[in-house]
Amino acid sequence: MEKRRCDFSLGAGRISEKALLYHDTRWCKPEHHDGELFAMLILEGMQAGVSWNLILEKEENFRRAFDGFDPEIVAGYGEEKIAELMQDRGIIRNRNKITAAITNARAFLKVQEEFGTFDKFIWSFTGGKPIDHRLKNVADMPAKDALSEKVSLELKKRGFKFVGPTIIYSYLQGIGVLNDHCVDCDFR
């Protein structure tokens, strides 16, 4: 019997194999590893204005180009590395997004210093528990909510860039703080 999934097609065309794998194994699944929390923050910022399918297709390239998304390494990037990244056809070559990744690495390290881990910080907004919206269909999924606005504001206060409430809503889904799998999805 074929497994049921959230219906993201909504007339947008075919969903890629990487997107299906992401849906089935990573999306809305609680993530607590700081390295992956940082990676997802950068990938979500890179996604602004482009499709998530494109980001997933380029994810391996991003991980390679950004030194495995190690925040300590990314925080040390200078103009030479920015110029190198701007020439890398395997990633999104947007200078503002690239410099935001560097800024966010530095802010991420400061949060780790203050809280011990970024995990403790980001999950503190929900008392360490995922929020399950129990959606009937993806059309009911908001682009942002009060939680994403609160987290966005806090991140901006701490110097993060490309962290508006819509990006943060998607980020919170991506790291499992929010579970927006539809109630009849077998991958909840």
Q: Which residues carry out catalysis?
A: 22, 44, 52
Alpha carbons 45 and 159: distance in angstroms, whole number = 14
Alpha carbons 89 and 77: distance in angstroms, whole number = 19
Q: What are phi and psi of 178, to 5 degrees?
A: -110, 135
Q: Is the dihedral of CA 165, 167, 168, 169 positive or negative?
A: positive
**Residues whose CB falls within 8 Å of the CB of residue 100, separated by 6 or more in sequence, listed in order:** 45, 161, 162
Alpha carbons 152 and 166: distance in angstroms, whole number = 9
Tell me how far CA of residue 131 lies from CA of 22, 82, 144, 156, in angstroms. 19, 37, 14, 23
Q: Which amino acid appears at position 98 of this protein?
A: I
Q: Which amino acid appears at position 53 of this protein?
A: N
Task: Specify whether the backbone of 29 is left (phi greater than 0), alpha (psi in -120 to 50) or beta.
Answer: beta
CB 143 within 8 A of CB 65: no
